[in-house]
Amino acid sequence: MERLRSSPLHANISAALDKHLDSIHVVQARRKEEILNASTPQRHGPPRCQDERVVLALAAALRALCQATRTVRTVLWCAFQMSLPK
């Protein structure tokens, strides 16, 4: 879109894209932790408290990714509108 406009886009656009990418990386890391935690054999007795923490961390990361995705969609739509010919 910068090439279409022949000028750089607003700094908030690249910041939103960076935040979205960071959110994706966090979700991937939390998911790997969850898979690792699920693959370890569970001991007999009450459920481990750590399972809940891993799942809650994944849920929080997904919530942040959802918000970042909404922001990026809006930002990209605005950038597209600014790059259209007048």
Cβ distance 7 to 79 under 8 Å?
A: no
Q: Which residue has the higher pLDDT, 37 or 25?
A: 25
What secondary structure letter does DSSP report for 61?
Answer: H
Rounded to the nearest 10°, the torsion over CA 54, 56, 58, 63 is -170
Residue 27's pLDDT band, with cuts at 50, 70 and 90, is very high
Nearest to 12 by CA among 65, 61, 74, 86: 74
Residue 3: predicted pLDDT: 63
* Chain mean pLDDT for the chain: 86
Cβ distance 4 to 59 under 8 Å?
A: no
What confidence tens digit (pLDDT) does each residue in 45-85 have? 665 566 788 889 999 999 999 999 999 999 999 988 888 87
Q: Which two tokens stand for residue 73?
A: 């969609």
Report d(CA 14, CA 30) in Å as an integer.
Answer: 24
Per cent of the chain over pLDDT 90 is 48
